[in-house]
Chains A and B, each alone.
Chain A
Amino acid sequence: MHKLIFILALFSFGYSSAQHKPLDAVTIQRIKEGVSQVSKKTSTISSDFTQEKEMSILNDKIITTGKFYFKKDQLLRWEYIHPFAYIITIRGDVITILDEGTIKSFNTKSNKVFSEVNRIIIGSVNGTLLDDASFTADFNKNNSHFIVSLTPVSAVVKESLDRIAIYFNKTDYTVDKLEMYESAGDFTRITFTNKQINQPISDEIFILH
């Protein structure tokens, strides 16, 4: 039995190594510069997204889909379409939610998890998270992506967030996928598709009436 577990462990290690290859310092520098340059040139992003939350203990998954909009510097709009209609906009420190015709606004400071996730997403999009002192970064790659794993330095953050994996497209250095691994074992994957970069986006869509 022990031998079987050892063999399985060996194979799974070999498998993961084949999937994610660690990178040398030159490649890491190239990724940082690539992400930084793309970020400087990016003023808007719109895309579809699919969000999957996997609950390991329950062996269940929650899947939501919608539209994502970003406009420099700190405007975000998450428009959930399925399984519910729901819009969140974030303008700096202010979160506004449109839910069933009702608008609610509150400060990100009243919701620390929200505030932290918002910082991670904006930091991933504009590349600042790679040099963020509150994370240690580990660089890998697979066939299509450079994968940056960020581990929180702060013990407080570590209590809820184990690590974040950001999948940068090897061709254009934009973010294709974000994975947030929680300390309790669950994880959330957000996959961005049909990305439109630098298409005009009105400020109006970040204001909910």
Chain B
Amino acid sequence: MRFLFCTSFFIAILLTGCQSAKPKHLVPVTDDCTSLHIIAHHCTSLPTPFSFPTFEKALLKASLEIREHHLTGLVFIKKMPDAGCRIIFSNEFGMTYFDLEIGSDTFLVHYCFEPLNKKALWKIMETDLRLLFATEEASGETGKFIQKETNYLVFKNKQENLTRWDLFSSGGDTLVETRGRSNLADQVVITFTNYQQGFPSRIILLNSFVKIKLSLSLLSIN
């Protein structure tokens, strides 16, 4: 059974290996706007992209669908002293599904209940969560674009293990979407909506081919 599970993930990854996470209709821009003749109002200055305010801990309502598994409950996130995050997902009755720690160089699964305890799954989840928590610094090629249809500012960051695309509102003050694809895993799309006090109160992470959907609704943050 474990072999079948791992094999099916591997085949899914092979089949989608060429699927790009790159948003469509991008026009490259430079800081001095030399190639930005299409969208003139950005030519004076390119906005500095927004980043989430810092927080110590957050509580979110969560729903995680992984193929036939449907898990609901609460996600508790606590920033750790080394700038990483501890993430605990438990069901409504308090029993823990998983407890993990993610930092720039670390990904530790402290606890995971048995049906979810699959190496292949956690490899994919690591990519997904690294995108969500932006744990990796840009380490390679970067790029700036405008998306023609939406006027979104799009930033590309090639990181050590994945390529991420962040789509900001045209004013640069709202992160709308993050897309990414690692060398190993399928593409991931994360949407951020319903902003309250600088935080998106609704986050949806979708890895459609391997059928992972994580929905988060913010309950409290401080």
Check A99 against B97 for contact (C-beta < 8 Å).
Answer: no
- Interface size counted on chain A using CB atoms at 8 A: 40
Q: Is B71 an interface residue (CB 8 A)?
A: yes
Extra pairs beyond A83-B59, A190-B93 (15, CB < 8 Å) = A62-B94, A64-B92, A80-B92, A84-B61, A86-B61, A86-B92, A111-B70, A113-B95, A121-B93, A160-B96, A182-B111, A183-B111, A186-B90, A186-B94, A188-B90
Check B92 against A188 for contact (C-beta < 8 Å).
Answer: no
Q: Chain B interface mostly helix, strand, loop or mixed?
A: strand
Known contacts A106-B70, A112-B115, A156-B114: does B92 contact A88 (CB below 8 Å)?
A: yes
Query: What mask results when residues 180 to 201 of chain A are scored 1 for a CB within 8 Å of chain B, else 0?
Result: 1011101110100000000000
Chain B residues 171 to 222 lying within 8 A of chain A, measured CB to CB, are 217, 219-220
Chain A residues near B107 (CB, 8 Å)?
none
CA distance A57 to B217 in the complex (A): 24
Query: What mask results when residues 71 to 91 of chain A are scored 1 for a CB within 8 Å of chain B, else 0?
Result: 000000010100110101000
**How many cross-chain pairs have Cβ atoms below 8 Å apart between A and B?**
97
Q: Is B69 an interface residue (CB 8 A)?
A: yes
Q: Is A45 an interface residue (CB 8 A)?
A: no
Q: Choose one: B86, B88, B93, B114; the contact of A159 (CB below 8 Å).
A: B114
Q: Is A1 an interface residue (CB 8 A)?
A: no
Chain B residues near A121 (CB, 8 Å)?
93
Check A51 against B93 for contact (C-beta < 8 Å).
Answer: yes
Chain A residues near B96 (CB, 8 Å)?
160, 182, 184, 186
Q: Is B136 an interface residue (CB 8 A)?
A: no
Chain A residues near B78 (CB, 8 Å)?
58, 60
